Structure 1
Amino acid sequence: MFIIHPVVLVALLFLLSAPASLYAQGYSVAFKNFAEEVVFEQALNGFYQLQGATLKVQLAPRLIVKVARQTTNAELMTWAPDATQITDLFLMQQYRYVLLHFTENAQALQALDKLQQQPLITLVQPDLQQQRMKAASLLGDVTEQDLSLPFYLRLAQNKGLWPGRGGAGVTVAVIDDGFALQHPEFSQLHTRFYYDFSSKKIVNAGVSIDGVVGQHGTMIAGILFGAHNRKLPEGLVPNADFVGISQADTWTSHTLQSFYLAYLAKADVINCSWHTQWLLEPVQDVVDELSRYGRGGKGAAVIFAAGNEGQHIEARMHEASISSAIVVGANNTEGMPLKFSNFGGFVDFWAFGGPVISAAHNQDYSYFSGTSLAAAITTGYVALLLERDPSLSSAQLQSQLKQLTVE
Structure 2
Amino acid sequence: MCAQSLEFQNFSQDVEVDVSDDRLTSIEGGELYGQLSNRLIIKTHSMTDKYSLESLAEGICDCRVQVSALYASPRFNYFVVSVPLEAVSTVVIKELSEKSEVLLVQPDVLLIRNRSSQNELSGNIQREPSPLSSIMPFWNVQGIGQVGNTREVRIAIIDDGFDFTHGDLSHVDVAFAYDVERQSFDVMPILPVDGHGQRVAGVIFGAHNNQGPDGIFTDARLIAIRQTKQWTSHTLLALSVAARAGAEVINCSWHSESLMQPVADIVNDLAKWGRAGRGLPIVFAAGNKGKVISINEHEAAIRSAIVVGALDQSFQIASFSNRGPFVDVYFPGSKLLSTNVNNKYGKYSGTSFSAALATGYIALLIASNYEISLAEINNKLSLLAWKK
When normalised by structure 1's length, the TM-score is: 0.87
1:367 to 339, 347, 353: 347
Are 2:142 and 1:160 equivalent residues in the alignment? Answer: yes
Q: What amino acid sits opposite 2:166 in the alignment?
A: H
Q: Distance in 2 between matches of 1:212 and 1:168?
A: 37
Q: Distance in 1 between matches of 2:315 and 2:211?
A: 26
- 1:405–1:281 Cα change, 3 Å: closer
Q: Distance in 1 between matches of 2:133 and 2:69?
A: 41
Are 2:174 and 1:194 equivalent residues in the alignment? Answer: no
1:36 to 4, 9, 13: 13
Alpha-carbon RMSD across the aligned residues, in angstroms, is 2.2
Aligned residue in 2 for 1:119: 100
Q: Distance in 2 between matches of 1:279 and 1:25?
A: 26
- 1:163–1:368 Cα change, 3 Å: farther
Q: Distance in 1 between matches of 2:292 and 2:205?
A: 32
Q: Distance in 2 between matches of 1:28 and 1:237?
A: 49
Classify the secondary structure of the residue corresponding to 2:230.
Answer: coil
Q: What amino acid sits opposite 2:369 in the alignment?
A: D
Residues 54-69 of structure 1 aligned to structure 2 (within 5 Å): 54-69=31-46
The answer to whether the 8 Å contact 2:50/2:69 transfers is no
Are 2:154 and 1:143 equivalent residues in the alignment? Answer: no
Q: Deviations over 1:330-352 (max 9, x none)?
A: 11344321111111111110111
Q: Distance in 2 between matches of 1:116 and 1:148?
A: 56
Deviation for aligned residue 1:122 = 0.6
Deviation for aligned residue 1:33 = 0.3
Q: Distance in 2 between matches of 1:406 and 1:119?
A: 47
Classify the secondary structure of the residue corresponding to 1:201.
Answer: coil
Residues 129-278 of structure 1 aligned to structure 2 (within 5 Å): 129-150=110-131, 152-156=132-136, 158-160=140-142, 164-165=146-147, 169-203=152-186, 208-211=188-191, 213-278=193-258
Q: Distance in 2 between matches of 1:372 and 1:227?
A: 19
Aligned residue in 1 for 2:290: 310
Are 2:332 and 1:341 equivalent residues in the alignment? Answer: no
Classify the secondary structure of the residue corresponding to 2:178.
Answer: strand
Residues 72-111 of structure 1 aligned to structure 2 (within 5 Å): 72-81=49-58, 82-102=63-83, 104-109=84-89, 110-111=91-92
Deviation for aligned residue 1:74 = 3.6
Classify the secondary structure of the residue corresponding to 1:387.
Answer: helix
- 1:84–1:78 Cα change, 3 Å: closer
- 1:171–1:122 Cα change, 3 Å: same
- 1:263–1:289 Cα change, 3 Å: same
Q: Distance in 1 between matches of 2:365 and 2:170?
A: 25
2:47 to 70, 73, 80: 70
Q: Distance in 2 between matches of 1:229 and 1:340?
A: 31
Count of aligned pairs between the two proteins:
379
- 1:406–1:61 Cα change, 3 Å: closer
Are 2:4 and 1:27 equivalent residues in the alignment? Answer: yes
1:356 to 336, 349, 355: 336
Q: Distance in 2 between matches of 1:108 and 1:357?
A: 46
Q: Distance in 2 between matches of 1:219 and 1:211?
A: 15
Classify the secondary structure of the residue corresponding to 1:93.
Answer: coil
Q: Deviations over 1:253-288 (max 9, x none)?
A: 010000000110111110011111111110000000
The answer to whether the 8 Å contact 1:153/1:162 transfers is no
Q: Distance in 2 between matches of 1:226 and 1:180?
A: 12
Are 2:355 and 1:378 equivalent residues in the alignment? Answer: no
Deviation for aligned residue 1:226 = 0.6
Q: Distance in 1 between matches of 2:196 and 2:189?
A: 15
When normalised by structure 2's length, the TM-score is: 0.91
Over the matched positions of the two proteins, sequence identity in percent amounts to 34
Q: Distance in 2 between matches of 1:138 and 1:178?
A: 20
Deviation for aligned residue 1:168 = 6.1
Deviates most, 154-163 or 326-335 = 154-163
Deviation for aligned residue 1:293 = 1.2
Classify the secondary structure of the residue corresponding to 2:175.
Answer: strand
Q: Distance in 1 between matches of 2:375 and 2:50?
A: 38
Q: Deviations over 1:112-135 (max 9, x none)?
A: 231122233110001010101111
Q: What amino acid sits opposite 2:42 in the alignment?
A: V
Classify the secondary structure of the residue corresponding to 2:283.
Answer: strand
The answer to whether the 8 Å contact 1:132/1:249 transfers is yes
Q: What amino acid sits opposite 1:220 in the alignment?
A: V
Deviation for aligned residue 1:137 = 1.6
Q: What amino acid sits opposite 2:168 in the alignment?
A: E
Deviation for aligned residue 1:142 = 4.1
